[in-house]
Chains A and B, each alone.
Chain A
Amino acid sequence: EADIYQTPRYLVIGTGKKITLECSQTMGHDKMYWYQQDPGMELHLIHYSYGVNSTEKGDLSSESTVSRIRTEHFPLTLESARPSHTSQYLCASSDLLGGYTFGSGTRLTVV
């Protein structure tokens, strides 16, 4: 079944650790996105990619980085996690009509 998958679902990690949030989609979409959402707040775009080897920063400044080596894979990395990075991270992809599909999200807690 065509879908978008995020792992891990929940992550609690200590300050200073390096983490990678995984996102994969099986729909063959060229365009992929990472959004950050604090509890009860709106979603903010932090990274996007319009194809392999293409990545751009979004509207909200983020210390995270992304890569797009394969169409289906769009991981997000934090080199040194801090408590201010505690949030929910949502990955999405869009089809040719601009319709978005979201993953289930990763809830990150940095202690």
Chain B
Amino acid sequence: KQEVTQIPAALSVPEGENLVLNCSFTDSAIYNLQWFRQDPGKGLTSLLLIQSSQREQTSGRLNASLDKSSGRSTLYIAASQPGDSATYLCAGSNFGNEKLTFGTGTRLTIIP
């Protein structure tokens, strides 16, 4: 069974800094890895989807990478802004099983 871990649980950084969020998973047979953003009391907003055949995806200031051999994914946020403050969740699914397993998330605070 896939298990997903995100460390740290919370992170505060000054505005303008670049930062990296980490996600680890136990099963290297991971098929898809998806990063989401969740604002307090809200649903999830999809940020980036990395499929099995891909190593990274980019959208604007966001870049996500996937290294199946080491069981890690990272989300890189460039030039952070206060509006980036939210909880970031990573989730993975295995081949033939599209059910996502979620990590507990990293709560990010960007300090103006």
Interface residues, chain A, with chain B CB atoms under 8 Å away: 6, 31, 33, 35, 41-43, 45, 48, 58-59, 88, 90, 92, 94, 97-105, 107
Query: Does B81 interact with chain A (Cβ within 8 Å)?
Result: no
Contact B36 A102 (CB under 8 A): yes
Query: Does B76 interact with chain A (Cβ within 8 Å)?
Result: no
Contact partners of A33 in chain B: CB under 8 A:
99-100
A102-B44 contact in complex given A41-B104, A42-B105, A97-B51, C-beta closer than 8 Å: yes
Interface residues, chain B, with chain A CB atoms under 8 Å away: 31-32, 34, 36, 41-46, 49, 51, 89, 91, 93, 98-100, 102-105
From DSSP, what is the main secondary structure of chain A's interface residues? strand
Contact A98 B43 (CB under 8 A): no
List 12 contacting pairs A-B, 8 Å CB cutoff, sorted by A. Answer: A31-B98, A33-B99, A41-B104, A45-B99, A45-B100, A58-B99, A92-B44, A98-B31, A98-B98, A99-B49, A100-B36, A102-B36
Contact partners of A42 in chain B: CB under 8 A:
102-105
Contact partners of A88 in chain B: CB under 8 A:
41
What CA separation (Å) do A39 and B100 show in the bound complex? 19
Contact A103 B102 (CB under 8 A): no
What CA separation (Å) do A107 and B104 show in the bound complex? 19
Contact A98 B36 (CB under 8 A): no
Contact A99 B46 (CB under 8 A): yes
